[in-house]
Structure 1
Amino acid sequence: MDAVLDLAQTLLSSPWLYALVLGVTMLDAVIPLVPGETLVITAAAYAVTGSGPEAPLVLLAAWAGALGGDIIAHHLGRGAGPLTAWFRRRRWGGALFDRAQRELTARGGMLLISARFIPGGRTATTVASGAIGYPRARFVGFAAIAGLLWSLYSVGIGMLGGLAFHEQPLMGVALGIGLALAVGGSIEGVRALRARRRRDRTLSRPVSAVRAASPAPSRGA
């Protein structure tokens, strides 16, 4: 991670920064440990200083990388390749994958969009979408929307941090990363709460059905 950010700082005034953003965000969609979001926030924070990259080009590179990476992860899932096996062998990865598979069947596109904002969760969801045979055209459409929203959000947070600490861009980067972690954690918390409520409702249905099927007590008894 430090090596990637150090490289980004040396390329702040170079067109190669956009290629770095595209490549790292693409890889981040497949391997969650790659700091794609952090790189986009960093580039956007420096964009408002006047001596850094152009924010619209950072946005375009991030969107292209996110969409390309999601499509790669989806097709890796379709091929049930080594990534799927590696991911499922991990305790955390297997749990994310199984949950993503269940929720994709139930919610489809909305899950693809919301999961893009959760590191690790987005990889599990896109790989799972391929593994269960989610329609390609529909996947690409939702992935394009998700990638655009994620890119706007990441660039926006980076620019906000850069504006707040105009003379100290690194402080702006730290603020942006903190906000991104808070938003991602909140989304995951809401998803977990909703999933638990749905599970509780599902478990309570058989009891209700039995009560509804039971004959009403006779008034004369």
Structure 2
Amino acid sequence: MPHQLDAVAASPWILAVVFVVAGLDALLPFMPSESTVVACGVVAAGTGRPHLALLIAVAAAGAWVGDAVSFRIGRRSTESVAARLTHRRAKAVHDWVQRLLTSRGGLVVVFARYVPGGRSTTALAAGLVGYPSVRFHWYTAAGVVLWSIQAALIGYLGGALFAGHPVLGFLLACGMALAVTGIAVLVQSTANRVPAP
């Protein structure tokens, strides 16, 4: 493992970066939160740093905080959005999202993070339609823990399989993460057969 990579992995700032990127991903969907966690998992396999359990905890905490902020923004915007729902189509979409979250909220909140842009959209929409806060936060906690474990372990596995070749480990891990995302999208689309407006 190159000396520079070892120095980066040993820095306490790497976990701060993971926390911030995982949190911002709920507000800025182009943030590479999963890639960041996967890359740190690859490095952890070769260097032992950052500690895998700490990486998982920090990634989950950052993602949870980001989702909570996005949900709160939606909740604070509920009245102004409701006042603007004058168009029949917009009202129908709002009602459809509300029905979807009421009937399958847990599944949507947990699996939406695997769909590109789904995490930020779901958290904001849940706040906008008045989804129960306690339920949202519990489902989000389950989702971020599953997500952070999956991303860190995939990275760690890729790094362990290609010890000494972190780039190959990262590429393998990213391919595995994409496969998991594809499976999650299929599960979510199959499970969420609530008719659209």
Place the TM-score, normalised by the shorter chain, in its bin. Answer: 0.7 to 0.9
Does structure 1 retain, via aligned residues, the 8 Å contact 2:21–2:32?
yes
Please say if residues 101 and 125 of structure 1, whose CA atoms lie closer than 8 Å, have aligned partners that are also in contact. Answer: no
| Runs of 4+ deviating beyond 6 Å | 96-99
1:45 equivalent to 2:60? Answer no
**Relative contact order (alpha carbons < 8 A, sep ≥ 6): 1 or 2 greater?**
2
Superposed CA RMSD: 2.7
Deviation digits for residues 170-199 of structure 1 (CA, Å, limit 9, x no counterpart): 111111111111211222133334445x54
Alignment of 1:130-209 (within 5 A): 130-195=127-192, 199=195
The alignment of Structure 1 onto Structure 2 pairs a total of residues equal to: 180
> Deviations for 1:17-64, whole angstroms, at most 9, x for unmatched residues?
001100000001221100011000000110011253211111111011
Contact 1:158–1:173 (CA<8 Å) still a contact in 2? Answer: yes
Distance 2:192 2:108 in 1: 12
1:147-169 per-residue CA deviation (whole Å, 9 max, x = no partner) reads 11111111111111111111111
Residue number among 121, 137, 161 corresponding to 1:124 in the alignment: 121
Structure 1: any 5+ residue segments left out of the alignment? 1-7, 85-95, 203-221
Q: Deviations over 1:58-98 (max 9, x none)?
A: 111101101001101101111229xx9xxxxxxxxxxx998
On the 8 A contact 1:100/1:124 being kept in 2, the answer is no
- 1-structure distance, mates of 2:138, 2:156: 27
Instruction: Return closer, same or farther for 1:98/1:114 CA change in 2, 3 Å cut-off.
Output: farther
Identity of aligned residues (%): 37
Alignment TM-score, normalising by the size of structure 1: 0.73
2:17 to 15, 20, 44: 20
Give the partner amino acid of 1:118: V
Q: Quick one: structure 1 residues 169 and 126, their matched pair in 2 at CA, closer, same or farther if it must change by over 3 Å?
A: same
